[in-house]
Amino acid sequence: MFDLDRWREIFQSISKNKLRSVMSGFTVAFAILLFTLLFGIVSGLSNSFKDAFADDAQNSMFVRVWKTTKPYKGLQTGRRIQLKNNDFDYVKVEYDGKIELLTARVNRNVNISYKNNQDNYSLRAVHPDHQFLEKTIIDEGRYINQRDLKEKAKVIVIGRLVKEDLFGEKPALWKRVNVNGISYQIIGIFSDEGGDNEERMTYMPITTAQMIYGNNDEINSINIGYNPDLSLDEAITFGNKLERDLRKKLNIHPDDQSALRVQNMAEANKGVASFMLALYFIVIFIGSGTLVAGIIGISNIMIFVIKERTKEFGIRKALGAQPSSIVGMVVQESVLITTIAGYLGLSLGTYILSQIGDSLEDYFITNPSVSPGIVIGATVVLILSGLIAGYVPAKRAAKIKPIVALRAD
Amino acid sequence: MIEIKKLHKSYPIGKDSLHVLKGIDLHIKEGEFVSIMGSSGSGKSTLLNIVGLLDEHDEGEYYLNGQLIKNLNEKKAAILRNKFLGFVFQSFNLISYKTALENVALPLYYKGIPRKERLKTAMEYLDKVGLKDWANHLPNELSGGQKQRVAIARALVTKPKVVLADEPTGALDSTTTDNVMDLLRDINNDGMTVFVITHEEEVAAQTKRIVRLKDGIIISDELTSKSKAV
């Protein structure tokens, strides 16, 4: 394949016939450019969707309770449902294999003061897994751990904005603050991508909260991170089963949505996933259409080019060129042009996408880019199309008798 | 060198066919300088194309350099052309985007000669036709006579057995015609077989043997005064 003389012939033919080389290259470059931009923008859309759900873990489920709205087993409506520690333990034991992360949550509003500064804040009393379910980012110190739970330690983790309120620029870690009249040690400071409200939050061990505020075993909600090995469908089935089981356990009518509900990210994810899938199908359809148009374009140009060169081929044959050498020359030239032009289109496309970056975030397009797989795939399609676009007409041209070819103008 | 027996060729035209060559017998020995004369439509170009392996005959036998030419595929024909034949055309048929030197070197490329040697040999032949100084010019920068001399250099560069010239002076004025014919005679004097097709008496008169063709048959075949002079 590598024949220096052959390449010299091809480079000469390309460089001495700039217009036709540029024309055929332009078609391909343009097709690939559109293809790249199209895919990039859709990937940008898909990134936006992913970001929209980035606050909480993708595999989270929330068990929440309110009041019953349907009578059941002689129990009347309007009954307040209360989750307790044994419900938490029940979930933990019953669904062990399907759960990766598990935490209960008690919500309180507290007044926190440090020296002369004080304010009201939301408090979440939780298990250690809560950190990962809420995607809490620890900036300093640590999160709540099992030992804190066991010792019912009077420790607190505060949000970045709480720290700013109470301490300003001064260090806060390991300092003691007054929470509703009881002294707690700050063991960690966190930030959260979920926004200011999340960063104005505070966390403490659930056991501590249960002991100090009411001395009971009540919890407000149970948060679950299901096993990521589960498929979306399996996760949805799991969520539905959990909902049924808990309603049964708490004597709630099986269809009472208002009394107890399991909010399952898997369901939202499934919606997004099928939407993205549909979008990708549309884009693949349009994108392939663009590519096909490009391929047809270069085929047309190659047919024209070869017609134009018929006489040249006749001369070459009279001088002793074998048909295979003519076909080879044309195909190699065509592949070279498509590859270079395709590469240019691709580079320009990725460059434009990288320039767009996050500037179109308002239009729901975040960081658009194309994956290497698509790039490689498109390149292979290009080379193949260059091959076919060159081969078919060249084969025909090489078959023309030299005497006929020489007569051509 | 070239031996033709009872050669027939016809071209289909719609349902009918046009019988162009109607039984040609011709023997050309090595070192001859032959011209084929005839008006247009006499079949002289067809004869040259068959001799030059650019076209196939229907009936009869054709031996080139003792080898029977029959059922050649394109590949074999290309190899034989490259090895035995050199072409000079009326319309020069130079490749427009190649320089004079590159045009002359092209047959050597198809012969598989390395580039350096190719260019060196091509330059020698350009020198022979007096165009060394024009080696790096493109065909459209050359005059008609110069183009034809480039084409002759290209025909000679592979040292073929036979040079086939199809109306080599058809597009040239009388002075350049004489130059080109002088060049062909020099080549012949060096021992090369030269086969010229023409409809000009003056051109034919400069060859050593004239074969006259009319309506697809040979009507006369005689030696000229030039041959007797040698």
> A2 or B221: which carries more pLDDT confidence?
B221
Given this model, what pLDDT does residue A357 score? 73
Q: Verify that A392 and A295 share a domain, yes or no.
A: yes
Q: Verify that A90 and A43 share a domain, yes or no.
A: no
Query: Which residues touch A337 (CB under 8 Å, ≥6 apart)?
Result: A14, A21, A24, A25, A28, A298, A386
Taking contacts as CB-CB distances below 8 angstroms, the residues of chain B near A19 are none
Establish if A348 belongs to a structural domain.
Answer: yes
| Domains, chain B | 30-56+72-229 (3.40.50.300)
Establish if A300 belongs to a structural domain.
Answer: yes
> B149 or A283: which carries more pLDDT confidence?
B149
Q: Verify that A148 and A244 share a domain, yes or no.
A: yes
DSSP-assigned letters across all residues of A253-275? -TT-TTTEEEEEHHHHHHHHHHH
The answer, for B161 touching chain A at a CB cutoff of 8 Å, is no
Over residues B137-158, the pLDDT tens digits come to 999 999 988 999 999 999 999 9
Domain carrying residue A353: 4-52+271-407
The answer, for A9 touching chain B at a CB cutoff of 8 Å, is yes
Confidence of residue A52 (pLDDT cuts 50, 70, 90): low
Over residues B169-209, the pLDDT tens digits come to 888 888 888 888 998 998 899 889 999 999 888 889 999 99
Q: Verify that A89 and A237 share a domain, yes or no.
A: yes
The answer, for A5 touching chain B at a CB cutoff of 8 Å, is yes
Average per-residue pLDDT for chain B: 89
Q: How far is CA B219 from the centre of its chain?
A: 22
Confidence of residue A55 (pLDDT cuts 50, 70, 90): low
The Cα A400–Cα A314 span in angstroms is 8
Q: Verify that A234 and A149 share a domain, yes or no.
A: yes
Cα distances from A27 to residues A107, A291, A309, A386, B39, in angstroms, run 62, 10, 20, 12, 50
For residue B184, the one-letter residue type is: L
Q: Domain tally for chain A?
A: 2
Q: Verify that A390 and A286 share a domain, yes or no.
A: yes
Establish if A373 belongs to a structural domain.
Answer: yes
- Burial per residue of A3-14, b for 16 or more beta-carbon CB atoms within 10 angstroms, e otherwise: eeebeebbeebb
Establish if A323 belongs to a structural domain.
Answer: yes
Q: In this structure, are residues A38 and A288 in contact, taking their beta carbons and an 8 Å threshold?
A: no
At which of A217, A249, A281 does a domain end? A249
Given this model, what pLDDT does residue A222 score? 93
Q: Measure B43 CA to nearest chain A CA, in Å.
A: 14
Establish if A254 belongs to a structural domain.
Answer: no
Q: In this structure, are residues A118 and A126 in contact, taking their beta carbons and an 8 Å threshold?
A: no
At which of A249, A282, A302 does a domain end? A249
At which of A196, A214, A249 does a domain end? A249
Q: Verify that A189 and A92 share a domain, yes or no.
A: yes
> A18 or B109: which carries more pLDDT confidence?
B109
Q: Which of B40, B9, B38, B11 is nearest to B24 (CA)?
A: B9
Touching B: A residues 325-384, CB under 8 Å: 325
Given this model, what pLDDT does residue A1 score? 44
Nearest residue on chain B to A400, alpha-carbon basis: B74
For β-strands A99-114 and A117-126, DSSP reports them as antiparallel
Establish if A60 belongs to a structural domain.
Answer: no
Q: Verify that A174 and A315 share a domain, yes or no.
A: no
Q: Verify that A93 and A40 share a domain, yes or no.
A: no
Q: In this structure, are residues A247 and A259 in contact, taking their beta carbons and an 8 Å threshold?
A: yes
Nearest residue on chain B to A6, alpha-carbon basis: B109
Q: Verify that A106 and A143 share a domain, yes or no.
A: yes
Over residues A103-148, the pLDDT tens digits come to 999 998 999 999 888 899 999 999 999 998 888 999 999 999 999 9
Establish if A103 belongs to a structural domain.
Answer: yes
Cα distances from A193 to residues A59, A189, A264, B7, in angstroms, run 17, 14, 20, 92
ipTM of model over 0.85: yes
Q: Verify that A276 and A245 share a domain, yes or no.
A: no
With CB atoms and an 8 Å threshold, state whether B82 touches A319: yes
Establish if A236 belongs to a structural domain.
Answer: yes
Q: Verify that A368 and A300 share a domain, yes or no.
A: yes
